Amino acid sequence: MSAEANNTENTGAWADISPDAARRLVTAAVEAFAERGYHATTTRDIAGRAGMSPAALYIHYKTKEELLYQISGVGHRLALAIVREADDAGGTPAERLAAVVRSFVRWHAEHHTTARVVQYELAALSEEHYTVIAARRREIDAAVRAIIEDGVRSGAFDVPDVSGTTLAVLSLCIDVARWYAPDGRRTPDEIGDLYAGLVLRMVGAAGS
Amino acid sequence: MSAEANNTENTGAWADISPDAARRLVTAAVEAFAERGYHATTTRDIAGRAGMSPAALYIHYKTKEELLYQISGVGHRLALAIVREADDAGGTPAERLAAVVRSFVRWHAEHHTTARVVQYELAALSEEHYTVIAARRREIDAAVRAIIEDGVRSGAFDVPDVSGTTLAVLSLCIDVARWYAPDGRRTPDEIGDLYAGLVLRMVGAAGS
């Protein structure tokens, strides 16, 4: 098991998946998809990594796509929870936006393997499942946009294009998962601080 | 052939690959890797898409990895050329940085399929080939960092963390390839204008 899969499990990303066999299959699938891509991975590969037979996998997941959907669902639910939690902590729009960026960046750095699978394999979801995930993505976007709109309304931010700026802020945070390396120069917290400062400049926060 | 592969060929991305058969194999490989991932694609798939036999492919590329390396090499050479060309047009640091961001964003939007393959399949390169590509990536990074340093030196920019900000600027531009859709709300030029403005704010350009 990779350090991240282990860490992900320990920090509870997959903690609400039960029984234990289903949880092991999900972490095995994340690793396999990340290493070889969704289409190059077979359910047999995933079962093998989880120390199970293909028949045992089938009890929990009828198809490889169901595993991807579960991974994507958990990933997006956690991302939305992180954005909402940071936002609910309260404070000025600048404090809320900085808190959301810090948490979102840290999540994409610490769970970069999961985040890559979630972001790069969206096209492999069934149409029905993609519709559910797309709705969750719109909720994340709306939560960030609402903070930026609050800042504009109160005069704390100066943003000519709110929807474009929301897109850019989320894109900047998500792309951390692509380039982040655990042995790199910056810790997840340091990247979070750097990015919170850059985002406050993007929204024209006074004093940033 | 996808609209982009066609467009890529027409706009000369692959124009310096000869003979024609090698060029057809590269565009076929980009499409196949983008659709199914590098590891799920066989040289037989690529040859078939190019209307050639596996034996004919082998005349031009000994392995699938050689094809990926050629795609990555061309992609990075073009990205570096774009950054240098925009920079060479001259002007103030703010004008040069805005020109680089506009060109880089437009390239990642228009060639999003190629850019995704180049960015997401780096780990599939051989160690030797990865070393060559990594050197080119450092050149791109250095070209952008040099503009930001010029701006800081002249007092036009205010940047507490030059290397971190350079990383963020490039990351923001590259991630356009992930989310851009040709039927989306914004044209590549509109995204380029939006992002040039946001990047000037990130570097604290006076009046931005």
pLDDT digit string (tens) for A56-84? 999 999 999 999 999 999 999 999 999 89
Q: In sequence order, what are the residues at sequence separation of 6 or more whose Cβ sits closer than 8 angstroms to the Cβ of residue B105?
A: B173, B176, B188, B191, B192, B195, B196
Stretch 116-135 of chain B: residues touching chain A, C-beta under 8 Å? 116, 119-120
- Please give the domain boundaries of chain B with CATH numbers for all domains: 3-64 (1.10.10.60), 65-202 (1.10.357.10)
pLDDT for A159 equals: 98
Closest chain A CA to residue B205: A201
Q: How confident is the model at residue A4 (pLDDT cuts 50, 70, 90)?
A: low
Amino acid at B131: T
Give the range among A19-23, A178-182, B44-48, B143-147 with minimum mean pLDDT.
A19-23
Mean pLDDT of A115-122: 94
pLDDT of A173 above 60: yes
Contact B179 A167 (CB under 8 A): yes
Q: Angle at Cα B178 formed by Cα B29 and Cα B22, nearest 5°?
A: 15
Hey, is the C-beta of A161 within 8 angstroms of any chain B C-beta? yes
pLDDT for B19 equals: 86
Structure-block tokens of residue B203: 């570097």
Q: How confident is the model at residue B4 (pLDDT cuts 50, 70, 90)?
A: low
pLDDT for B13 equals: 72
What whole-number distance in Å separates Cα of residue A38 and Cα of residue A57? 16
Q: How confident is the model at residue A1 (pLDDT cuts 50, 70, 90)?
A: very low
* CB nearest to B172's CB, from A36, A161, A171: A171
pLDDT for A10 equals: 42
pLDDT for B15 equals: 76
What is the enclosing helix (H) or strand (E) of B112? helix B112-120
Question: Over pLDDT 90: what percentage of chain A?
Answer: 85
Average pLDDT, chain B: 92
Q: How confident is the model at residue A147 (pLDDT cuts 50, 70, 90)?
A: very high
Instruction: State the complex-level ipTM.
Output: 0.92
pLDDT of A9 above 70: no
pLDDT for B12 equals: 61
Q: How confident is the model at residue A12 (pLDDT cuts 50, 70, 90)?
A: low
Q: Which positions in chain A touch B36 (Cβ < 8 Å)? A: 37, 39-40
Helices (H), chain A: 3-10, 20-36, 43-49, 54-60, 64-88, 93-110, 112-120, 127-154, 162-174, 176-179, 188-202
Contact B186 A164 (CB under 8 A): yes
Contact A192, A180 (CB under 8 A): no
Hey, is the C-beta of A39 within 8 angstroms of any chain B C-beta? yes
pLDDT of A40 above 80: yes
pLDDT of B31 above 50: yes
pLDDT of A17 above 90: no
Give the closest residue to A77 by CA, choosing from A8, A9, A135: A135
Mean pLDDT of A142-153: 96
Q: How far is CA A172 from CA A122, B77, B165, B204, in A?
A: 18, 24, 11, 18
What whole-number distance in Å separates Cα of residue A112 and Cα of residue A105? 10
What whole-number distance in Å separates Cα of residue B73 and Cα of residue A197? 34
Q: Which positions in chain B touch A198 (Cβ < 8 Å)? A: 165, 168, 202
Nearest CA-CA distance, residue B19 and chain A, Å:
31
pLDDT of A6 above 50: no
Average pLDDT, chain A: 92
Contact A191, A176 (CB under 8 A): yes
Q: What is the pLDDT of residues B95-116, one digit of tens each?
A: 999 999 999 999 999 999 999 9
One DSSP character per residue, A27-82 reads: HHHHHHHHHH-STT--HHHHHHHTT--HHHHHHH-SSHHHHHHHHHHHHHHHHHHH
pLDDT of A171 above 50: yes
pLDDT of A7 above 70: no
Q: Which positions in chain A touch B165 (Cβ < 8 Å)? A: 194, 198
User: For the stretch A61-74, what's the b/e string if a residue is b when 16 or more beta carbons lie within 10 angstroms of its beta carbon?
Assistant: beebeebbbbbbbb
Question: Over pLDDT 90: what percentage of chain B?
Answer: 85
* CB nearest to B174's CB, from A39, A120, A175: A175
Q: How far is CA A21 from CA A1, A14, A31, A57, A123, in A?
A: 15, 12, 16, 8, 27
pLDDT for B90 equals: 87
